[in-house]
Each structure stands twice: as C-alpha cells, then as structure tokens.
Amino acid sequence: MKKLIVLLCAVLVTSNYAQEAKALPLKAAIKMAETVIAETALEKGQKPTRYNYWMYQNYMIAEGIKSMGDTLGRPEFSEYKEKQLMYYCDSFNKIKDKRTKQHYLKPNSLWHSGMVASFVEAQATSDHPEITRGISYFQGMLNKAPKIADGTLTRYKPRWKSKGVQIDDLYMLAPYWVRKSKQSGNPEYLEKAIEETLSYYKYLWNSQTKLMHCLWLEKKPEAKIHHWGRGNGWFVMAITDLLHFVPENHPKRAELLKIYNNVMLGLMARQNKDGLWHQVLDRPESYTETSCSGMFTYSLLLGSNKGWLPASARTAGIKGWNGLQTKLTDKNQLKDVCVGTDMSEDVQYFFKRPRVTHDQHGTGPYLLAASELMKLKKK
C-alpha cells in the first residue's frame, strides 16, 4: 500500500510538471550580468558609470548578480556586489551625478536609500569608515521622517499637501531594517520591518480587486491611486525579502505568509496570457510592463522554491520568465520599462508614462528572476 501511495504521488507530481511550459534558456540573463559587470567601475582609478550611482535599482542588480554567481559557481558574479560597494566607499566623490550624490550625503526622503542595506551587510567584514558614515546619513533622515499617528513612516506629497503612505517606500525601509537587526543582534529593527509591512498592507490592500493601491493620503484617505504594476512590485519585493529574516517560530510569521499568499494569488489572477503583467494591473488596455513583470516572476519562483506559495506559483513564474524573453532586444536589452513614476489619481497618467529600454528598474528584477530559475533547475 505504501509503495502504491508513493507511486501515485510521483504520477501526480509528474503530471503537474507536464502541464508546465518549459522555461526558456538563461543564456540572455548570464550575458546581461556579464555586460553589467564589464560596464561597472570596480577598481580604484576606473571611471564610474551609472551602475556605480547611489540607487536602489543598483542594489537590486547587485543582489541578482551575486545570487546568480552563488548558484552558478562563478566568482566574478559572486564578488560583484562587494566590489561595487567598496568602489563606492572609496570613490563616490568622483561620481559626477549630482542628484544621486545628494541622495547619499543629504537624503531627505525614504526612497533615497540607495545601497544602504548593502552597507549594513558590509559591516560584518569591513571597517571602512565610509560604511559607518553612509549608514548614519540614512538613519539620520529616518529619525526625522514624517509619521502618521500610528507611527508608520511616510513621505510628504506636495500635490495633496498631505503625508502619504507610498507603496515604493517599503522596499527602501524593510531590507535596511532586517539587515540591521541581523548585524546588530537587536530584534527591534526586525519588528520595525514587520510592523511597517503590516501597516502598508492595512492602508493599501484592496480586498475587492485583490491588488494593492499605491498611495494612502492622510488628508484624503478616500483617494484611491490606481493599481500601478511596479508599485505593487515594490511591496512584493519587500515582503519576499522580509520573509528570509523572520524566524519560523515568530508570532507574526503566519500572518505575513497569509498576506504574501493573498498578494501573490491576486497577481497571478492578473497575469496576461503571454506571461506578463500590465502597467496598470487591472487595465488590460495598458501596455505589458517589464520591471513589474520581472518583480512578480522573481517572487513567484522564489516563493515556490521556498515552499511559501502553492505549486501553481512555480507554473506562473515560469510563464512570466518566458514572457520576459519576448521583451529582449537583439542587443540583449530589456524594453518596455516604465520610467521613474510618481502618483496620480488620473489613470491616464500611468497609461502615458514613457517606456524605455535598458533601464536599471528592469535589469535588477530580471537578474533576480534568473537566479531563482537557476535554483529551480538545479533541483
């Protein structure tokens, strides 16, 4: 009887895999990572490029390349993140991009986080004085950041003359806090990340559409900002990262996993037939957008690899990966990436946002998704 049960389980698993489309090759992702490494200044004396700027997009890219390297056994990939960071510590004064340098030295908003989470990780192995200074700049801003009554950190939105809980900001906060908690041994920072995540879900989740709104306004709580794809992607990226740091026996872990499944299942229901997701998730007349599609693909593959999501998430993740391959140009660059975007109550604002090619918002999620597909293939 036991052998029969095992055989039946094997048949069911084989049947599930048979229904799954075969994942397209990873060659393009490996080539893209190689190109990024070649185009990044990693040694003193080299001229900095956009991959050296203080940008959260570059933090995502570094995470993706390192994860790929650890899976592939390629040291030049695995070492990229640390080299990129140490170059910044030694050479940030050479970077002529005034905007990102200002975000580093004098941050005044949550999204000026740049690569601060990597700085915290680097404290474990380096005593470079710039690491401590860089963290102090960001922490100083956080200490003064506006809050609403329940303590949730916000940014001020001049258009509405109001504080706002903006969905992007969770990814700028939570990865910093969880790494600070691990590095310092102080659970207070982990609790901050958890409570902030629960708070964002409370203010932004739409139980009817099963999607996240992208902004809640203190002075206009009835305003409902549309379900912008990359906005939802930032929440997904943040909670996916957070779950790595929450212990199995933590009293809030089950609640976080329930939220994670709610959000990811809601997104799976909005996946386009080509595997991608739209610029406005519930508006199929908007274009299929590459950065959010990469974020969702990554999280679906990782969540299924970890057992945090049902097996159907793996199927959706593979479908997403295959869809992303249709966004590659003949130069191995991703197209249809939405440019940096603010918030608006007018859906046409999101419809009309320009689409660009070879933008870091798209590169990071794509490489992260590739790293999870590599792990799946190794299994």
Residue type, 364: G
Q: In the chain, what are the domains?
A: 22-378 (1.50.10.10)
Residue type, 142: L
Strand partners, 217: 164
Q: State the Cα–Cα distance between residues 235 and 210, nearest whole angstrom.
A: 13
Could you tell me how many helices (H) and strands (E) the chain has, helices first? 16, 9
Question: 248: helix, coil or strand?
Answer: coil
Residue type, 327: K
313: tokens are: 């998430």
Rounded to the nearest 5 degrees, what angle is found at the Cα of 355, between the Cα atoms of 288 and 165?
80
58: tokens are: 């570059």
Start-end of H helices in 73-204? 75-78, 80-91, 98-105, 116-122, 129-144, 169-184, 187-204
Bridge-based pairing state of the strands 288-289 and 337-338 = unpaired
Start-end of H helices in 154-227? 169-184, 187-204
Contact 291, 338 (CB under 8 A): yes
pLDDT at 19: 64
The H-or-E segment that residue 162 falls in is strand 162-166
pLDDT at 20: 79
pLDDT at 3: 53
Q: State the Cα–Cα distance between residues 302 and 71, nearest whole angstrom.
A: 13
Look at the pTM and tell me if it is higher than 0.85: yes
Mean pLDDT by 10 residues, the chain (379 residues): 48 50 95 98 95 98 98 97 97 94 97 98 96 98 97 97 98 98 97 98 98 98 95 98 98 98 98 98 98 98 97 97 98 97 97 97 98 91
DSSP for 259-328, please give it: HHHHHHHHHHTT--TTS-EESBTT-TTSPEEHHHHHHHHHHHHHHHHHTSS-HHHHHHHHHHHHHHHTTB
